[in-house]
Structure 1
Amino acid sequence: MRITLLVSFFLCYYYCIYITHASPNCLEDQQSLLLQLKNNFTFLDRKQLYSPIIHEIISRSTKLRTWIKTTACCNWSGVTCDNKGRVIGLDLSGEHIIGGFNNSSSLFSLVHLQKLNLNDNYFNTSIPSGFSKLEKLTYLNLSMAGFLGQIPAEISQLTRLVTLDLSFISYSTKPQIPNLQKFIQNLTKIRKLYLDDISITSQGHEWSNALFPLRDLQELSLYNCDLSGPLDSSLTKLENLSIIILDGNNFSSPIPEKFANLKNLTTLRLSYCGLIGTFPQKILHIESLTILDISFNLNLHGSFPEFPLNGSIHSLLIGFTSFSGEIPRTIGNLRNLFELDLSSCRFYGTLPNSMSNLTHLTYLQLSNNYLSGTLPSTLFTLASLEEIWLPFNQFSKFDESINVSSSVLKALSLKSNNISGRFPTPIYQIHSLIFLDIAFNRLNDSLQLDGILELKNLIALDLSYNNISINVNVTNVGHISLPNIRYINLAS
């Protein structure tokens, strides 16, 4: 009995310690400051409303609604305290706050804050310079917060920042950072820097050299920042870089060979960058690389190397470039690949059978190339494949042994090829299909309406410009229906 009581005592004791540690008492001044902050905000709390300002339905607040006097502030949603009851973290992301934020805000009296997230709001005011008072901040996220005007230089005084996210900060104007070097020269602890859709207007060597003091930088995103070329190899001196996102700038230069030296690189995004020259194949051999997007660089030439065993690439987006050559059979080594886009390039030859190894592939886009031969049946056996886009190629026939038993295919486009012969009836069993386009081929067949009616989820069907007839004799007249169909083209 005494042992049972003793065990119960210790369990109760440690439970109380845990509760005290997990939910410290909130200091009175901290709670008061947070209530002042809430009272100055305008946020939707009662019901869903349509906002003519942002043209969408705004959902109600979920965090600020819990901020009431009768509850300790350390238990409020979005609030994190240290063991002394001081507020060290504040997450007000997605609260649909409209206005009520300036330099006199009580927020800037929460001087122990280490993490602040104001993402996804509609403040509709200039960014207060008062952020400089929050000297202990290591994380600051103002992305998509609806601020106006320029980025205040005072943010550069937050020397403890590890993460700074100012991406897409404004919904109306494009803010500027006139001097990137001056703005970040003191932010030497930064590991993650996101400045998407901010006008920086620097040439390649200028902004690359400006980043050089950030020796710990791991993630860099400068999407649509009005940067100009050349794309400078000095960026590779930041050896810890794992993510580089530079889409939507105008470099008008090749990709430096030295990018292949970034051994920690997982993501390289350079779409719509006006890249020229020849793509360095060695980049595709970086062992850690998972995402490569160099699409929409019309004058960027290149071809695929032999891919190493167990390649790590998840997403390979090469569309609308001048890549050419055959697709190597070693593409089957990319067993983690789930997205492949080679559209509007100059690839030729046949699709390798090794593509049957791509068991995680969900999206295949190979339209507008010079691919020929038989359509391999292995495409229809890939259990995860949801979209196949092969129009405007030179395929000539279907494989005779198509098996669709595990197919989750939703879209199949074979438009404008040279496919002749009979239509493969197993496709009728792909009940998940919502889009089917085999127009402008040379199919010669009589299709059963019964079979087509099996595709109950079809939204769009295009069989036009073939030598096809449809047998309308059906066995069950009561079920003549495609309930979701919106578009049918049976021309010629």
Structure 2
Amino acid sequence: MPDNDNVYHVVSLSFGALSDDTAFPTCYSSHSFISPSVRKLPHLRTLFFYRCFSNNPQPIPAFLAQLGPTLQTLVLRENGFTGPIPNELGNLTHLRVLDLHKNNLNGSIPISLGRITGLNIMDLNQNHLTGSIPSTLMSCHSLIKLDLSRNRLSGSIPDSIHNLNNLILLDLSYNSLTSPFPMLLKKLNSLQTLVLNGNPMDSANLPDNVFDGFNDLMILGLSNMNLQGPIPNSLGRLPKLRVLHLDGNKLNGSIPSSFGNLNNISELRLNNNMLSGPIPFKREMVWRMRRKMKLSNNEGLCYNKENGLGDDLETLLDSGIGHCGDSKTEPIKTVQHISTLNRASFVRSNSYKLLSSLGCLLWSALVFVVVCLL
């Protein structure tokens, strides 16, 4: 890229391809390393390495921090980097993207990263990071994506997270966060994706209005979080919701009737809870979700034929959902049960036919012997 004096500068170094359509040079991972000579590129804006060092494990070089005045994008995805995240990376104050996805990084998240206040994307997922989420990260007011999932983080979600009011995606799933459900999240009204799956939150009932105001929320993951009590009615008032995972909790009571108004829902997991009562979905909604609607292992759930639902819907059969008018003592016939019953009926029927044939044959033989004796 030329400057005003027609002098060309290197502004981007990219190695490794995310897809076959990317024209980046490939890496030789057994010999690759980041050379200190990159410090001699004072106009560098983008540094991108993808799967370049996985066969040559090494720490992230601290000298990358010397690119601070110009570097805007630092992507080091799936490179097998080891050791802690260098504190010096906090000096890259002009960064917009920090992506360290799927390495073998350990230690805590440096509090120095909170100095990168203009950061738009921080992706540290699938590492071995420990400790708590630094409250200093909540100074990165420009963040639109924060992904710290699949690490070993513990403690609570900082109360100051409500300062990140530009967040569109927040993924903290599969850590060991144990605080009660963070009520301050409801102030993040720009969120489109919120995923907290797999964190053993301190058991508590979710307030009924906890999701009011999330008008743009499309994906919500709250699986395996030790959540208890009834499902909040406010979930049924999310007009853009497409994916909802609540499976693997201790939720009880009925499915809110407001769920019948989720016109954009395409995937719903409520399995492995303690829900009961009629499901509030009409036939069209069940057909739309098909196999992506999971309701199994909720012993008290049933369906009303008035909603147009029937035994022909495999989704209901696979979930073991029976008609609300059926006797509670009668076992629910799932597809597996039906198959077993059909096989048993087939065996009994064919056994009867076989015995009948053998009986006729023996009778004929006996008649033949008697005739011969006469």
Q: Shorter-chain TM-score: which interval? A: 0.7 to 0.9
Q: 1:161 to 1:355 in 2, by over 3 A?
A: same
Match of 2:206 in 1: 304
Instruction: Output one character per residue of 1:253-300: Cα deviation in whole Å (capped at 9) or x when no partner.
Output: 122222123211222111121111201122034211111111112344
After superposition, the Cα gap between the structure-2 partners of 1:392 and 1:467, relative to the gap in structure 1 and judged at 3 Å, is: same
- The 1:156–1:390 alpha-carbon spacing in structure 2 relative to 1, beyond 3 Å, is same
What is the CA-CA distance between 1:351 and the residue it aligns to?
1.2
Q: Give the aligned partner of residue 322 of structure 1.
A: 226
Q: Is 2:71 aligned against 1:168?
A: no
Shift of 1:128: 3.1
Deviation for aligned residue 1:234:
2.6
Match for residue 142 of structure 1?
49
Whether 2:298 is the aligned partner of 1:393: answer yes
Q: CA RMSD in A?
A: 3.8
Q: In the alignment, which residue of structure 2 is the partner of 1:366?
A: 270
Closer, same or farther in 2 for the Cα pair 1:199/1:141, shift >3 Å? same
In 1, the alpha carbon distance for the partners of 2:331 and 2:145 equals 46
Check 1:415–1:330 CA distance in 2 against 1; reply closer, same or farther (3 A cut): same
Which residue, 148, 157, 161 being the options, matches 2:66? 157
Tell me how far apart the structure 2 counterparts of residues 194 and 120 of structure 1 sit (CA, whole Å): 19
Cα distance, 1:168–1:251 mapped onto 2, change above 3 Å: same
Q: 1:166 is paired with a residue of what secondary structure?
A: strand
SS at match of 2:129: coil
Which residue identity does 2:174 align to in structure 1? Y
Report the Cα distance in structure 2 between the residues aligned to 1:219 and 1:89, rounded to whole angstroms. 18
User: 1:233-244 counterparts in 2 under 5 A?
Assistant: 233-244=135-146
Secondary structure, aligned partner of 1:376: coil
User: Aligned pairs, how many?
Assistant: 333
For 1:289 and 1:168, how far apart are their aligned partners in 2? 27
Alignment partner, residue 278 of structure 1: 180
1:462 matched to 2:348? The reply is: no
Percentage identity across paired residues of the two chains:
26
Which SS does the other structure have where 2:167 is aligned?
A: coil
1:344 aligns with 2:248: yes
1:94 to 11, 17, 29: 17
- The letter for the 2-side match of 1:389 is K
Rate the CA distance shift 1:139–1:412 in 2: closer, same or farther, 3 A.
farther
In the TM superposition, residue 357 of structure 1 has moved relative to its aligned partner by 2.3
Q: Which has the larger radius of gyration?
A: 2
Q: 1:389: Cα distance to partner? A: 0.4
Q: Which runs of structure 2 are paired with 1:178-197 in the superposition (5 Å)? A: 178=84, 180-182=86-88, 184-197=89-102
Q: Secondary structure at the match of 1:201?
A: strand
Query: Is the 2:162–2:188 Cα contact (8 Å) retained in structure 1?
Result: yes
CA distance in 2, matches of 1:296, 1:120: 36
CA–CA distance in structure 2, aligned partners of residues 469 and 351 of structure 1: 35
Measure the CA separation in 2 of the matches of 1:366 and 1:333: 17
Q: CA deviation at 1:366?
A: 0.6
In the TM superposition, what is the alpha-carbon distance from 1:378 to its structure 2 partner?
2.6
Please give the secondary structure, in 1, of the residue aligned with 2:152: coil
- Structure 1: tracts of 5 or more residues without a match: 1-79, 98-115, 423-439, 446-460, 473-492
Report the AA paired with residue 171 of structure 2.
R
Cα distance, 1:192–1:92 mapped onto 2, change above 3 Å:
closer
Q: Determine the C-alpha separation between the residues in 1 that align with 2:202 and 2:28.
A: 40
Matches of 2:27 and 2:239, distance apart in 1: 40
Question: Tell me, what secondary structure is at the counterpart of 1:156?
Answer: helix
Q: Partner amino acid for 2:299? A: Q
Letter aligned with residue 100 of structure 2: L
In structure 2, relative to structure 1, the CA distance for the partners of 1:441 and 1:203 (3 Å cut) is farther
Q: Structure 1-normalised TM-score? A: 0.58
Contact (CA 8 Å) 2:15, 2:48: kept in 1 or not? no
Q: Which has the higher contact order (CA 8 A, sep 6+)?
A: 2
| Deviation at residue 81 of structure 1 after TM alignment | 8.9
Q: CA deviation at 1:85?
A: 10
Closer, same or farther: CA 252–310 of 1 in aligned 2, 3 Å = closer
**Partner SS, residue 235 of structure 2:** helix
Matched, 1:126 2:15: no
1:442 to 307, 315, 331: 331
Map Cα deviations across residues 164-210 of structure 1 (whole Å, 9 max, x no partner). 111212xxxx322545212x143110111011233443335xx1x22
Deviating runs (4+, > 6 A) in structure 1? 80-85, 465-472
Where do 1:403-482 residues align within 5 Å? 403=308, 414-415=318-319, 442-443=331-332, 462-464=336-338
Aligned equivalent of 1:203: 108
CA contact (8 A) 1:96 1:120 kept: no
Q: Which residue of 2 aligns with 1:260?
A: 162
Stretches of structure 2 lacking an aligned partner (at least 5 in a row): 347-374
Alignment partner of 2:203: what SS? strand
Deviation digits for residues 234-255 of structure 1 (CA, Å, limit 9, x no counterpart): 3212222222111122223122
Q: C-alpha displacement at 1:442, in angstroms?
A: 2.5
* Offset at residue 388 of structure 1 (A): 0.8
TM-superposed deviation, 1:135: 3.0
Q: Please say if residues 126 and 149 of structure 1, whose CA atoms lie closer than 8 Å, have aligned partners that are also in contact.
A: no
Q: Give the direction of change, closer, same or farther, for the CA distance of 1:441–1:465 in structure 2 (3 Å limit).
A: farther
Q: SS of the residue aligned with 1:301?
A: coil
Other-structure match for 1:335: 239
Q: Return the alpha-carbon distance in structure 1 between the equivalents of residues 136 and 279 of structure 2.
A: 45
Contact kept, 8 Å, 2:115 with 2:139, in 1: the verdict is no
- Structure-2 change in CA distance of 1:191 and 1:96 (3 Å): closer
Q: Output one character per residue of 1:42-92: Cα deviation in whole Å (capped at 9) or x when no partner.
A: xxxxxxxxxxxxxxxxxxxxxxxxxxxxxxxxxxxxxx9999696766766
- One-letter amino acid matched to 1:251: L
